[in-house]
Amino acid sequence: MAIVLNHGKHQGKTLEWILFHDSGYVSYILEKKIDKQLPPQLRLGFYDLVKRASHLKVPGLCRSCGTKPITRMFLVNHISGGLGDVVFCCGQCEPTERPFSEPMIPSFLRGDYFRNYDKTGNKILIKAIKLAYFGNPSVKMSQERMEEFFDNPNNFMLIQENILKIPNPPLSDGIAVGYF
């Protein structure tokens, strides 16, 4: 289900688009509890998409050892104080770059880790995700391609119920207009 924002900074854009272009805005929506303004059915679709965006199953092998599947990511702090790099690793390895964050589940929603609403950090994170999934950090994402990405269960880790304390509704077809 594509949820289209009907007002605000990204009016007319879908949540899939926002995750691939300005993922920090979704974090802002959650932080300011703007999601609570959505009608219940749209809110459930929003939460389902947030769950997926927060539990990426990054393809390929660990960037450090090159032998084990990727299960976590580290964010490398740039000298400016923001995000400088993203390193996808297995459960045993750590990046060689320092300083880095604690290990975390790969997610679209971590670009602001070092600095609040870090637009550059979010772009770096999205480019790393695009490189990992599509082999090109600058790949153009059509709405159809973004929806296919989020509809493909192979792109996400198995999500246990209530891992984020958010209901897990099934996605439905169609476009819903949000109320942000």
* Ordered per-residue pLDDT tens for the chain, 180 residues: 688 887 778 889 999 999 999 888 888 888 889 889 888 888 898 999 999 999 999 999 999 999 999 999 999 988 888 888 999 999 999 888 788 888 999 999 988 888 777 888 899 999 999 999 999 999 999 999 999 999 999 999 975 533 443 333 333 333 333 333
Q: What are phi and psi of 88, to 5 degrees?
A: -95, 125
Same domain flag for 45 and 25: yes
- Please indicate, yes or no, if residue 85 is contained in any of the structural domains: yes
pLDDT at 1: 62
pLDDT at 66: 94
Count the domains in the chain.
2
Same domain flag for 46 and 96: no
Predicted TM-score (pTM) of this structure: 0.82
- Please indicate, yes or no, if residue 159 is contained in any of the structural domains: yes
- Supply the range of the domain harboring residue 26: 2-57+144-177
Same domain flag for 129 and 154: no
- Please indicate, yes or no, if residue 65 is contained in any of the structural domains: no
- Please indicate, yes or no, if residue 67 is contained in any of the structural domains: no
- Please indicate, yes or no, if residue 109 is contained in any of the structural domains: yes
- Please indicate, yes or no, if residue 127 is contained in any of the structural domains: yes
pLDDT at 175: 38
- Please indicate, yes or no, if residue 63 is contained in any of the structural domains: no
Same domain flag for 118 and 158: no
